[in-house]
Amino acid sequence: MGVFLFLVANGSAAVELCSIDVIPPAQTVDKIVDGDTLRLRDGRRVRLIGINAPEMGGRGRRTEAYAVQATRRLTGLVKANNNKVNLRVGDPSQDRYGRVLAHAYDRAGVSLEAQLVAEGLAYHTVVAPNTALAGCLTQAELQARHQRVGLWKNATFTHAKDINSGGFTLLRGRVARVQRNRGGVWLELEHSVTVNIPLSSLQYFKGQRFAEWQGRTLKTRGWVTERRGQRNKYAKWRLTASHPSMLEWQ
């Protein structure tokens, strides 16, 4: 992503970049679970590709900032589309929880994900190989950040030294070491945090000189996990970044 070298004219223009002409079949929605998940009338749960919205509370968890607003906005978008969504299923088509992975559009082909990102109600994320909207969602988020709307009013990137739990994280830190092996490329940050670019994702990083990243400050985002039982051999915390749009250099 880098410094804001290019900004689309406005949020509407960013959303337009994600629109499609060939509209996929419509599906009736039974319930909006949160800002990035919904349940269809046929019982299937759908996780929207390319975004991560704040989590609603429940089962001992607190409701995150802007979770209510994101849920209400997605509800409104679906209601305006006669309680339907037009789904383009991804590849892979399911996540590890059995949810359908799909891009959602209204009957005019406008991306619901792009609208949420452009309004600062969801972060742009990429989990390869579902990368179809990576470029336009990046632009939608750039606009939200530039205008400091929604989540970007107070969003901060957590320094690697302050990581003490897993979950979705905006992460920053200096790359102390770069390694490459059969697991892909490993960007070792200070304080026992590493960012992994999987071997299967290196196709998206063609031409990159990974060794030149050493010593630079990285901003990224994704799900931090603890590497239990391997703490003496590997960094304690790991985040996977599978697409260049998830890496921002300073």
What integer is the mean pLDDT of 227-237? 76
102 has a pLDDT exceeding 80:
yes
155 has a pLDDT exceeding 80:
yes
What integer is the mean pLDDT of 27-40? 98
Residue 186 vs residues 22, 210, 239: alpha-carbon distances, Å: 39, 9, 10
The pLDDT of residue 178: 97
Complete domains list, the chain, with CATH: 11-152 (2.40.50.90), 158-249 (2.40.50.140)
> By percentage, how much of the chain surpasses pLDDT 90?
87
142: three-class secondary structure by DSSP: helix
Q: What backbone phi and psi angles, to 5 degrees, belong to 85?
A: -135, 145
CB atoms within 10 A of CB 234: 14
Report CA torsion sign: 209, 214, 216, 220: positive
Task: Note whether 249 and 216 are within 8 A (CB).
Answer: yes
Q: What backbone phi and psi angles, to 5 degrees, belong to 171?
A: -120, 140
The pLDDT of residue 172: 98
